[in-house]
Structure 1
Amino acid sequence: MTVTGQDISDYVDRVRAALADLPPAVRDELTEDLPEHLAEVAAETDGTLVDRLGEPEAYAAELRAAAGADGTAGPPSLDRRLAAARHRVRARLSRLDARLGPILGYASAGEFLRLLRPAWWVLRGYLAAALLGAMTGGGLTLLPRPFQSEVLGIVLLAAAVLASIALGRNADQLRRWPRRLNRLGTLVLVVFGLVLLVNLDERSQRQDFYEGVTVGNPYDSVQDVFVYDEQGRLVTNARLFDQNGVPIRLGWPTCVDGSGAVPPPRNVYPYCPEQAPFAPPRPSAPPPVPTVSASPTTATPTGSAPPAPGVLPTVTAPAASPTGPVPAPTATR
C-alpha cells in the first residue's frame, strides 16, 4: 500500500493533537521534523504508517517520554535520554537530507541513495567475500583467496553477492534484532572496505608492486632464481619477462639483511646472492713465462783440450760418402 501525502498529514495532526497539553514551544520542537521522518519511513517499507510506527497516540507518547514531558517525577532515565538523543539526531539528519536533495536533483538525498541500493548490494557482497578471504589466510587482495585458492575465491564471491542481493530485497521484513545486526554488519563492512582501499593504495605506491605472471606447479615451491652466464658467473640484478614483456614474479626472500629482518621482494633476481647453489669458477693457472739469461756463454767442445798456441788444429776427415772417398787435407807448419 502506497502512503500518500494526506496520510502523512493526518498522522502528524493526530500526533500533535495527542500532545496538545504540552507548551506550544515543546510541541513544535517534538513535531518539527515529523513529516520528513514519516516520508522517509513510508519510502523505506511497504504498508501503512500505523503498521510501521503504531498508532499516532502511541507514537506521541514515545515523543513525550523521550522529551521527559510525560509528567513523571525525577530526572529522565537513561532510556529516555537515549531516545531523546536519537530523536534529535534523526531530526538533524532529516534536515540535512532535505537540503542535499536539490543538489543531487531530487527532493531528498535519500531518494537518490535509494536508486543506488542495487549497486550497494553488489559491493556489500564483494566486501563480505574479501573479509572472509582475509580471515582464512588469503590476505588483503582484490580477488578473495580463501585458503590461497582462486577457485574458492570466485565461488565465495558469487555466493556472497547473491546472498547480499537477497538480503537487500528482504531487508524491510527484518524485525528489531535482525535489523540491528544488519546495520552493524554494514558498518563493519564499510570500515573493512576503507582498510582494504588504504592497503591497496599503499602497495601501489611501492616500486615492487606490479602485475606478475602466475606460475603453476612445479614452480610454486621456488624461493629464489639464480642466473648464470656462459662462463658460469652469477648474474645479479637480473630481470625476467615473458613473451609479452610482462614481468615474471617467482619466489620469496629467505635471507636477512644487516638489521636482521627479511627484505621485501623485488623485481630483480636473485633475492639472496649469498645463497647461490654454485660457487664461481676458479680461474685457470697462467702459462709459465721463460727466463732469459743476461750474460752470454761460450760453448766448449766436450772431450778435447784447447789447441796449444801457435799450432793449427788437426781436422779429422769426415766419413766417406757413398759416392766416393774424399782426400783429407794435411795440416802444414
Structure 2
Amino acid sequence: MSSTHTRAEVRDYLDRMRAALSDLPDVEISEIMDDADAHVAEVAAELGEEFSAEALTSRLGTPEVYAHELRVAAGYPPSKHVVVVEPPKPVFAARFAFWALVAGTATAFAMGIGGRDGFPLASLVAVFVIWAVVLLHRRPELIGQVGDLPENTALQQALAQAEAGPPGKAIAYLRSLQPAWWLARTVLVAISGVVVAGFGILFLLTLALAALTFMSGPRAKTDRRWLWVSLPAAGLAAGTLLYILGAVLPNATYHDNYPTSYGPPTPTLPNNVYVFDKNGKALTDVYLYDEEGQPIETPFYGCRNGGGDGANSRYREDNRYPRPRVEYDDYGNCRVMSGVPFAVSIPTESLDPSASLDPSASATPSGPVDPSISVTPPSSVSPAPPTVATTSK
C-alpha cells in the first residue's frame, strides 16, 4: 500500500475526529488534535504493510470513539451531537492503571512519613506506576476506560457530594491554593530526596523527579495522564511535611516541658574505702552492699606492667575493699602498694550503749519539769576520728 494512500486514510480518520470535536472552542480542538495527529501517525507507521482503515479502527476505535476518549481525558463533557456506541472493551489494563495510581499515592505518602524505612516498598510500587504511565501513553484510550470504572465513578461521586456539602467552601479554598501547593510540593519532594538518599546519585534523581513534579501540576488539568505523576508526588510531599513536623515540634517543646527542678544528685563512692574495727585495726577483704542488698562496685585500674602485687594489678570491678594503692616514682614506673596509708583513732562512746538500748527506758519525764530550765542532750558519739598519715615503705 502506498504511503500516499496511507496518508489519505489517516487524514480521513483525523478529519472525522475533528468533526466529532466541533462543538468545542478552536483552542481546545487544537490542543487535543495536536496529540492525536502524532499518535495516529505513529500507530499507522507501526502497522506497516498491514495498515488499513479497518486495522487503524481496530487499534484505536472509530474516530468518534477516539475523539470521545480524548475529550473526556482532557476534562471536557461528552458531545451532545455525536452518539458514541462503544463496543465492550476489556478493563484489566484500565483497572491496573487505576490501582497503580492509588497504590503509588499511598506508598509515596507512607515513605514520606517513614523516611528511609519505606524506600524498598516504594521502589517496588514505583515499578508498577511507571508501567501504568507507559501504558497510558501508548494507549491514550485507557484514560476514558479508567474514568468509566465503577470504583472511579464512586470516588468522583463522593468528591462531588463533599463539594456540595459543608466542606465545599474549604475544598474550593484549597483549590485556589493549587499554584502555591505545586511549588511547595516540588520543594518537599526535593527534601524527601535528602532524607531518603542523602546527597548521592539518588538525590540527583530526586531533583529530576521534583522538576517533573512541578510540571505535572498544571498539565494534569488538561491531560489526565499526568495524574500518575502528580498524585504520587502530592502523597510524597504530604508525608514528608508530616515527617518534618514530627521531627521539629517535639524538639521545639522539649525545653518548655523539661523539669526546672532537679532531685538530689546520686551519691558517688570514693575510689577506695578503708574499714576499721572498734580497736582501730584495718580490715581487709571487706565486701560492701547497699540497703537493697546490691553490691557497691567501683572500678580499679592497676599497673599495666604488673608491678608490685601482680594479682591486684589487673583491671577489676567488684565490691571488695580496700583497693590496692597505685603509686608512680619519678621515672613514671608504676607499682601496687598494699596496706593502709594512715592510722586512725577510734572514738569512745560517751554514754553506755546498753542504757540507750534498754526498752524499759522512757523518754517521758516522771516528774514535773521546770520550763525555765533548758536541757541539751549529750552527743552519743564523738566527732569524726582524727587521722594520722603514715609513711609507706
TM-score normalised by L of structure 1: 0.31
Structure (1 or 2) with the greater strand fraction? 2
> Comparing both chains, which one has the higher relative contact order based on Cα–Cα distances under 8 Å and sequence gaps of 6 or more?
2
Which protein has the bigger helix share? 2
Greater C-alpha radius of gyration: 1
Q: Report the TM-score when normalising by structure 2.
A: 0.27
